[in-house]
Every structure is written in structure tokens, then in C-alpha cells.
Structure 1
Amino acid sequence: MVDSLRRTLLPIALIASAGLALACHRTPSGGEHPDGGQAGGGGGDQAADGGEGRFCRRAWSKSAAIPEGPIVSKDSGAAWTGDRLLVWDSSREHAASYDPGTRRWTSFEDRFPGKRVRAAAGGQLLVVIEGQYPAPLSGLLVDARSGETRPFAAPRKVLLEPMRFGEALLFSGDSWAPSQSEDLLRFEPATDRWTEIEGPLPQARIQPTVVIGERLLLRWGGQDRQDQQIQLVDGSVIDVQTMRRRLLPQESGLGSRRYPMGSAHGTRVALWGGSGDQGQLRDGAIYELESDRWQPIPALPEDLASGDDWRGVVLGETHMLVWDLQRRIASYELASGRWSLTVLPESAWTHLPGLIRDESGRAIFIGDERYGLFDPVRGWCDRALPREAVGRFSLFRAWTGEGLLLWGGITNGRSGGCENHTGPQGCDPWMEHNAHGDGWLLER
């Protein structure tokens, strides 16, 4: 029971990567923008006149449908390899890849009987024999381009479920999930290379904030593993280049807080928000890997912080963004240390939006019916989602370097069980969920 609970504890914060845009809207302050126009105007799919309108029109030019592939399952997984989409059905022995250049699917069905696909990284599918820790881990690697397979085996006992770390996978060597464990092995599927993560160990903990970037993995805070009443205020960082762990400097200025949100960009990680003894916190700090130092983030000013419903953090090259369900985006300029606030139009989203980033760290929000790019200098641009994508949840989202890729997802089908219900107690009908195997590449 305890081991099961341990393995289900997930990281509090993870990082994705991607970006998007069209149709501009006025920020509360208006103002001049570098393109020569004024923040402004309109809604729908009509780009505003002036500089920001040109920004919107340049941002996205075309879209292409991804035809339905051989994987249509509620148990599907997906990964972007850098040049193609790799998908699999974790409940069956089946996988496939989609090449946007040829617009064709390649099926890998029946390549690995008796085994299940568990993960993907570095253009390789990881296919392992079903088993439970501490069973030996072995199986096949499947190349996403050629479909060729080759065997692999872990050098020692590890947990079955890995955590993706750039083009590699992190496995736990103990009974804790990789996000909670300090006994980690890094596996590069492209080279079949295993590396032990070495370095000083921090105090054992559960439910830390975990932030994964291209250059690092940072873990901070959480509760003492033996006494969960003790809130920890330290952590560790793993450098991708050296594959060594080091302890984070103590002087972060974060103090004691629970569940701060995190985001990484390059060699930096921002931790912001969370809760303390006096309620929700609205300050944070940025850690720089190369200097091994923290830089404080001042608190969001009271006049910008009405309500405490902040749901996400995005760190970019020049700004850090935080956002809430009321469609407010607070932008912190790293160079000047100043905060500003933008209120998006009501059409942006009504429920918790999906989020990815482009290569410069700009935030792309995927809402109920629209998707949009927020540029901290130029403002907000959005457009309607493809009609067939509206209403889907669990869509796979990736930034390809050329645009936004959306694939799969699930929609609610018919409900049943309540048609003839007349009792005083409410009825909770069952809902049929329909999986999808098609998608879209929205290019710029």
C-alpha cells in the first residue's frame, strides 16, 4: 500500500515546450509597440491594423490536417522526435510514426509481440516486458524512422516507469518514482547508454517541486520523507552536460512554502508562488545554473494581484509570465524587475487551458475553442481551433520549431443511465469517451 502510494506521487511542476498566434486584442494600458503600431483592436480572426496587426499576420500562415493513423486509443501516448510524431498504445503491442514531410503514417504493429510500449525519447520507442519492481528491466528499442528493433537491458534493477529528460529517460533505482527518487539512472535510447547520476544527496523528501528543462532538472522543497510535517527549504539540481547532481544554494530567499510553481528556460529556473503560513505567496526566485546563484523575484504588486488564483508560470528569455483562470497574465521583465498586467478577451478560455512554449519561451495557450500566443512585448494574438478539435481533452501538444502540433485527444460521447431517473437524489450518469487518432499541424 505504501509502495503503491509512493509510486503514484507525481512531480508538482513539469515543463513542456512549444508556441502559437493570430487576431490581436488591446491590453489595458494600450501603448506604442516596437512594430510602430498601437496595441489594439478587434477580435475574432481579424488582425488589427498597425504594427501589432503585422505581427499577427506574420505569425501563422497555414495549417495542415494529420489524417487518422493506426493508433486510436484512450491509452495512447505520444512524443515529438524532432522530425516526426511518434505514437503508441500502452495497452497493446502497437506503435506508429507520422512524417509531416510525406504526410504518411508508418505502423510498427506486430514488431514486438508480448511486450508493451512504455515511453519514447531520442527518436526511439522503449518497449519492455511487463513486470513490477524489482523485476529486471529489458526489452526492445524501436527506431521511429526505420522501425528497426534492437534489444536493451538495464545494468541493474530499476522501476518500470521512466521520466523523460530531454532526449533521454530517467529511471529510478529504488521503489520511488523518478520525480521523488535520488537514486537515478539516465538512459539514452539513441546510443543505448546508461549513466549513473552521481553527486551529493539532499535530504529524502516527497512531493517536491520538480522542474525539467533542456539543460537541467531541479528539485526543491517538499516534505521530509519520514516526517511529513517538516517542510523542506532546500533542493538539488542535475546538470545535463555533466550528469552530476549538486545541492542548491541555501540563500534562495524562498523561505518555507508549499508547492511553488516552476518553469525552466535555458540554464535558468524560476520558482514562484505557492502557499505559506499566511496564505498564498506572490513572490519567488530565479536560479542560474552556470553561476549557481539565486536572484529574487519581487512580489506581484497589490494593485495587480486581486485574487489568488494564479495557475501557471512560464519563464522566457526576457520575461516571466504568471496567469490565472480569469484570463489575466502578469508579466515580470527580468532586466528591469517590473511587473505589468494584461487582461485577455473573454474568448481566450473559460476552463483551464493547455500550455506550451515556443523556442524563445513565449506562452501558447490552447483554450476551449481558440489558441493564442502571448508575446510580452507585442501582446496577444489568437485564432479559432480547427472545428474538429473543439471539445477534445487530453490532446497531445508539441512545438515542432515550425508550428504547433495537435494530435489525438478524447471527446465525451453519449451519456446513459439517467433517462428514466425520477428519484430525489441526483443521478451521476456514465459517460462514453471516444478516442481520436487524427490531428493538425498549425505552421507559421
Structure 2
Amino acid sequence: MLPPGLMISAPASGTGKTTLMLGLLGAFRAQGLAVHPFKSGPDYIDPGFHRAASGRFSVNLDTWAMQEGLLGNLLDRSEGADLVLAEGSMGLFDGVAKPGATGNGSSADITAKAGWPVVLILDVSGQAQTAAAVAMGFGQMRDDVELAGVVLNQVASPRHEMLLREGMKQAGIPVFGALPRRKNVSMPERHLGLVQAEDQTDLYRTIEEATAFINEHIDLDALRTAAKPTNRLTGDVTKTPPPGQRIALARDVAFSFVYPHLIDSWRAQGAEILPFSPLADEAPDASADVCWLPGGYPELHAGRLAAAQNFRNNLKTFAQTRPVHGECGGYMAMGEALIDKEGVRHEMVGLLGLVTSYAKRKMHLGYRMAELNIPLANMQPGRVLRGHEFHYSTILEQPDTPLATVRDANGELVPETGSVRGLASGTFFHLISEAV
């Protein structure tokens, strides 16, 4: 039997899910419990925070991109833990209009499949008993989604809390705790969401503060008691083949957006991961047979990348005989140039003709389905990949051969096709899995 679990969710983004999640992970860990974290949806950042707080690897669960077998395989990683906590994305029921692999990508889909009750954190600013009506709606929206109870956030005063609790009592909804207004444990933000775990020097202090805050205001025993056993999901697991036997993987604060389950799958299939740091002007391992540049924040480090001559020269040499692939930020770094938000042009590696600009910002966000036009690493033309795109860069030039035919979650063509030149290739979407 897999351990009991809960989904930590909310009506919307920005309501305190991550602070609650990190505080709960820290508080239960301090009690000596092994708590296994998950993240619902396509998020590359929160799992790093989860790991820091819990001491256990966190991976993404995504019903739009993942088949049932892969979801089950990832849920099985919780075996042996005392408790599972999953952090939702956006609002509980938010997803795309058309279902994907096994659902529409919402946290509610994951909740229903895993069998986890929902702990709903509510920002109760500006309301009292009305908050109970909001919670009731969440409890009644889907028959296969169970509301365990709520955590009240941004409570203004004891009188405010009393009114809120009275409304919840009348509605028959348990209250696991009330969090007063307090800013010093909120997570810092950046233009692409939360700061990366590697980027935040005071992360552990923040986790300690969140843990103390949650310990003080949440009934941990009641919340744990509300958890229910995790369902076992079965089915074939389609394994995305590793791009090579020995994979040189760029890894530093500029290149870290890669899904952990993908790297783990490559290792399980016998591949070796050889990390290196472009920001430290390191070259890919000469013994590697492929180089992979993940996404991240190259625009924040464009000057250092432009000055990293050892990295740039050796990557060009590498690409003469072996494949090099970049995702989003890695793709931009492989291009001719990157223009930062101040309009300064920085020369990049030049393996591709791509020129991108942050001076002309435009948000690109959403799931992507890509059918390869040409081979990509060990995947042949015609293979269909599922991924996710999120960036604010604008393409100024993209003269190379399109890599794939790319569509969004509604099946509409998108212009960001990726590109290829010789053995170098790149995409704006981050690979999650293969479509079946």
C-alpha cells in the first residue's frame, strides 16, 4: 500500500500554496516523518524547494502530458514514506480546454486519480462567512474530488477568524488552521515565477520561518489524519529514449529547467549524466556522445555567457561531430545573439541562427505537442512529443530548418517550431514525455 496523501491547492495562484507546502514539509519532517512531495503540473522550480524542505526528491505529475503508466510509476516513488503532500498549480480545477494524455492538466485530475483529499488554502482578505460559500463550491464541483478542509490565509484579526470559522462550521467544512497576515515568509518572485532553489542563498532560513509559522497556526495532527491512501495506477510506461549513452548536461543557475523524471528515466535506461557549468566557462565532457542544454535564465547571465570563450569554442567543436540540443534558454544560448531587457546585444554560441530579444517582451505559455520533422537525438521523424513552453522572449530571426510541427493544447499551430542546423537543434518547449 502506498502512503496516505493530500493535495495542497487553492482557488488561484498567489494565495499561499508554496508557503503552506514548505511549512508543512518542514514541520512534519521535524516530527521525524518521511514526507514525499509532488508537484502538479508543468513546473520546474517548486520541486527544488520541495527537496530542500523535505529531504526527498519531488517530481511533476501532469495528466495532460503523462500516460497513466508513467503517473503510476512516479507515484510509486512514494513507497515507504509516511505521508504524501502534493502541491497544486494555479487553481484546483484550472487546466486546458481539451484533454491530453489522461486529463486536462488540472490539479483536480491528479487528485481524483491519486485518491487524495484536497486541503484548500483560501485568501480570506475582504470576506468573512462568504469564504465558506467559496469552499462549498470547491467541495461540490466534482464528485471524484474530495475536500478535506481549509486553511484560512491572510486573517486580519481574532474577530475575523471567529467569523470565518463560524461560516465554515455552518457549512460543515473543517478548518485546519488560520494564518495571520505576515509577509516575511512569502517566497520572493521573479519574472518567470519563483526564484530557483539554487538561486536563493537564504532558502533554508525561509523554510525554517515557514515551518515555525505553520507549526504555530496549523493543526498538524488533524491535517495528517485527513490524508487517504494513494491509489496505485497501472499501465504501460512509454520511456522517452535518452539522447545518448553519455550525456553532457549543462547545469547551473542559468541552465536548470529540466524535468527530474526525464533525467531519472534516462539514467534508468543506462545513460550516464555528465554535468558541466557554462557559467563557470566549462566545456562539455569530451567523452560524451551528446550535449543537452536545458532551459533557465540565460538572459540574466547573458554577459557571462558571451564572455565564456572556453564553453563557446568547445561547444562549437563538439557540435561538429555530435548532437547538441537546447531547450528554451538552452536554445537561445545556442543562437547567434540574445538581446537583454535593456536592449544590449550579447553574442551567443552561434550554432543556430536564432536571435531572441527580451527588449520586446511577449509571454509564450502553454502545453505543446510536437511532431518531429527530422531526427532528434535517438528519436526519428514522425515521433510526437509532449512538452510545455513558458518564456517572455521574442524571436527576431530564425533562419534555420524547422525542427518540428508544433501545436498547442487546442491543436492550433504555433510559430515556435524549433530549428536545426547540422547536428545542432533546439526548441522553445521543454520535453515532458512522448505521446502514445
Question: TM-score under structure 2 normalisation?
Answer: 0.25
The structure with higher relative contact order (CA 8 Å, sep 6+) is 1
Structure with a larger share of its residues in strand: 1
Tell me the TM-score normalised to structure 1 length. 0.24
